[in-house]
Amino acid sequence: MGKEEIAFFDAKPYDKEWFDKFNTEYEIRYYDGRLRPANAKLAEGCRAVCAFVNDVVNEKTIDILSKLNVEVILMRCAGYNNVALEEAKKRGIKVLRVPAYSPYAVAEHTMGLILALNRKIPRAYIRTRDFNFSLNGLTGFDLHGKTAGVIGTGKIGRVFIDICRGFGMEVLAFDPKPADIDGVKYVSKEELFKNSDIISLHCPLTKETHYIINEEALKLVKKNVLIVNTSRGSLIDTEALLSALNEKRIGGAALDVYEEESGLFFEDNSDKIVTDEVLSLLVSRPNVIITSHQAFLTEEALSNIAQVTLKNFEDYLLGRELENEVRL
């Protein structure tokens, strides 16, 4: 009997490196393109597909996968808002994920973005490449003594809180399910918006958190607040954010995710004309830093993603308890 096969979509070199390192049991078919209805038929003959955050795992995709007798969708990420879960359940397809690959990776990248934005490090770097050593326009502020507003206090949020406290910052938090964290004050969203010098998003994308940073929220914040998002793009109403930046109602923004990133992020678009006007305007702002959904990208995280994804499939095949199954 041959090896069980996995159709692996949106495969990047770093994915292949780490999955090949730990895979000894399965035949993995790597495909460059994102999973979507147009190419879902490539999974024919596979019991599982492996998908990522920007794959289009909608009702139509799942319908095609079901007709191909695919039994498992292996999400090699924590998020699953791009998966039509009700349709998957109706079709009897299991959805498994990697709930926590490295909270340190994302939390550390978040603080890196804050430091780069606040202290204008990218601008300073570009200047010195031209032997321009002027300090004009590079003034930042001390993080020590400032207030960080953390929305979402799961594993990543808690690690980020620890980092903030290491910098001597006060922490306000908002989460519908508060955790018992020493020295952290839980407040309403409105109070957090009003009193934070930095607002950092570490919550999943749900109906309740969609556009949690919107026009109303941006009317409440401090004038020089920095807004940071390393979670999901649609937590922020990007047009409202752009308006606040243009009107100088906030100090700046650092984004590792973007609500319309699908088809752009994870790809080299340097030789193309990018027609997303909102993204183009954000990139042009001197008080905005955008990275390409790379907060998770550490060796430790990639190792954990590969190992947990492969174990999820093994658990399914051997009839074990599916501890990482996404359930409605």
Q: Among all residues, which ones are annotated catalytic?
A: 232, 261, 293
Tokens of 293: 């959904």
- C-alpha closest to that of 214 among 185, 243, 194: 243
Contact status, residue 22 vs residue 307, Cβ threshold 8 Å: yes
> How far are the Cα atoms of 52, 57, 153, 326 from residue 85, in angstroms, in the given order?
15, 9, 25, 8
Phi, psi at 151, each rounded to 5°: -100, 110
Torsion of CA 187, 188, 194, 199, to 10 degrees: 80
Contact status, residue 263 vs residue 239, Cβ threshold 8 Å: no
Rg (C-alpha) for the chain, rounded Å, is 21
**Strand-pair category, 252-255 with 226-229:** parallel
Contact status, residue 83 vs residue 73, Cβ threshold 8 Å: yes
